[in-house]
Amino acid sequence: MRLLVVGRLNGQLANAVKMAMTAGAKVAHVETCAAATHALRAGQGADLLMVDFELDIRALIAANEAERIRVPVVACGVGADPKRAADAIRAGAKEFIPLPPEADLIAAVLAAVSDDNRPMVTRDPSMQAVMALADQVAPSDASILITGESGVGKEVMARYVHKKSRRATRPFISVNCAAIPENLLESELFGHEKGAFTGAVARRIGKFEEANGGTLLLDEISEMDGRLQAKLLRALQEREIDRVGGSRPVKVDIRILATSNRDLVAATRDGSFREDLLYRLNVMNLKLPPLRERPGDVIALADHFIRKYAAANGVPERPLSSIARQRLLSHRWPGNVRELENAMHRAVLLSTGSEIEEFAIRLPDGQPMSAAPDAQTARTASMAAEATSRGFVGQTVAVVEQQLIIDTLSHCLGNRTHAANILGISIRTLRNKLKEYTEAGIPVPAPQSAASAA
């Protein structure tokens, strides 16, 4: 956690700084808002700004936003009445810390805004095998590509690798390549010189230089534009970058980690990702299995999230009931660890008894999580599916498609819109298919009115 304190270091603010350092923060200090923006622009990165509420917090946030610098702000001060504290929140501060400070409050605020406190929780053998490989390659400077479905914990793994590396005491900088517009990503990564483009009012240090000596994570790198991929490849090969509008290269010493939820080998075949860049990034690959393939982690993670959100919401920590555990183990978790975390957060808030019961475990749409089918039901469903699939053997894809469309349309009582939604095709595509069938003399279910349907 990198903390930048903005304001005069009087006695109480100095005490807050000492408490933050005790809580593990790396602290830097400037006295004015202008100096804070200048320090951030110059590459003195921060994960949090702690700002004296007497300063113009709104202007500080606006100045940072104009430079596309987005760092959360907490306000602090001595003798602030509730109105002054509320004004600071309305100006854009995330929290207000009254001074003199309390060590527990300082630590809680730092933990709330920090991404660092996300431990790697695993019990399943498949995930432990990945962890063993991560432990083996972490001390090197090799580039690592971390792959897996959305929500499996790729960034958590990247932070784990950094903490196990020789660069653990140096910066860890993460850039979400999918979240930054293409025309801004180059400047975000490599920085720019004053006057390089409209709005470049001063030199801006990019993430490559900010991460110098440490680790740079390129999150969702598959979303990067092809032209920028070429510039990134050169930076990795030469260990130097060119600022936008710059006249000379800048040497950097960083380790690159990258994540992707897409198949980059397939992306190289369709031309959307450079093959030479893939080879440069994929010196080592850590493929994280989806949560449904690591059942040993489900309960361990659930217990971890229960402890986390019980503490965060000030409610008693309740254990999972046996039925609730069965519900968790039987769910497919399409959203992986992220979905499980949200489900446990909801469960902590909804539970009222001595245990977390199954009714408190809700899906994202608010519906209770359904029970797993019993063995007989599962066998029956499996046999039915097998019989259905055998019925398709020997038929062409066109015939199977036609049968599926006609049967779905019949199920929807001829409603074209509902059928298209179920089939996952556009209404236009469905109408074109039905037109083909009609012209070929194949009966097509007509739309039924509400009265005839009844």
pLDDT of residue 452: 38
Q: pLDDT digit string (tens) for 298-345?
A: 999 999 999 988 987 889 999 999 999 999 999 999 999 999 999 999
* Alpha carbon of residue 174 to chain centroid: 11
Instruction: Write down how long the chain is.
Output: 454
303 neighbors 322 (Cβ within 8 angstroms)? no
Task: Examine the domain organization and report whether 136 and 21 are in the same domain.
Answer: no
Question: Which of 287, 311, 340 is at the close of a domain?
Answer: 287
Q: Which two tokens stand for residue 344?
A: 């446990």
- 10 Å Cβ neighbour count for 360? 24
pLDDT range class, residue 130, cuts 50, 70, 90: very high
Q: Which SS3 state, helix, strand or coil, does residue 364 take?
A: coil
Residue keyed to tokens 């660092």: 116
Structural domain range at position 296? 292-360
pTM above 0.85, yes or no: no
Q: Rounded to whole angstroms, how far apart are CA atoms 101 and 16?
A: 6
pLDDT of residue 365: 78
**Residues near 74 by beta carbon (within 8 Å), at least 6 away in sequence:** 48, 49, 50, 51, 93, 94, 95, 96, 97, 109, 113
The answer to whether residue 30 sits within a structural domain is yes
Q: Domain containing 267 — which CATH number?
A: 3.40.50.300
Strand order in the sheet with 215-219: 172-176, 215-219, 255-260, 144-147, 284-287
The answer to whether residue 53 sits within a structural domain is yes
Task: Examine the domain organization and report whether 399 and 260 are in the same domain.
Answer: no
> Which string of DSSP letters, residue by residue, matches 307-337?
HHHHHHHT----PBPHHHHHHHHH---TTHH
Question: Which of 255, 287, 319 is at the close of a domain?
Answer: 287
Task: Examine the domain organization and report whether 342 and 217 are in the same domain.
Answer: no
The answer to whether residue 370 sits within a structural domain is no
Q: Which two tokens stand for residue 68?
A: 């596309």
The answer to whether residue 369 sits within a structural domain is no
Task: Examine the domain organization and report whether 321 and 255 are in the same domain.
Answer: no
Task: Examine the domain organization and report whether 243 and 169 are in the same domain.
Answer: yes
Mean pLDDT of the chain, nearest integer = 86
291 neighbors 297 (Cβ within 8 angstroms)? yes
pLDDT at 62 over 80: yes
Q: pLDDT digit string (tens) for 364-389?
A: 877 888 665 555 545 544 555 565 55
- Domains held by the chain: number: 4
If you average pLDDT over residues 229-236, what whole number do you get? 93
- 10 Å Cβ neighbour count for 448? 13
Bridge partner residues of 96 (DSSP): 75
Task: Examine the domain organization and report whether 179 and 255 are in the same domain.
Answer: yes
361 neighbors 369 (Cβ within 8 angstroms)? yes
- 10 Å Cβ neighbour count for 364? 11
Question: Which of 237, 263, 287 is at the close of a domain?
Answer: 287
Task: Examine the domain organization and report whether 90 and 142 are in the same domain.
Answer: no
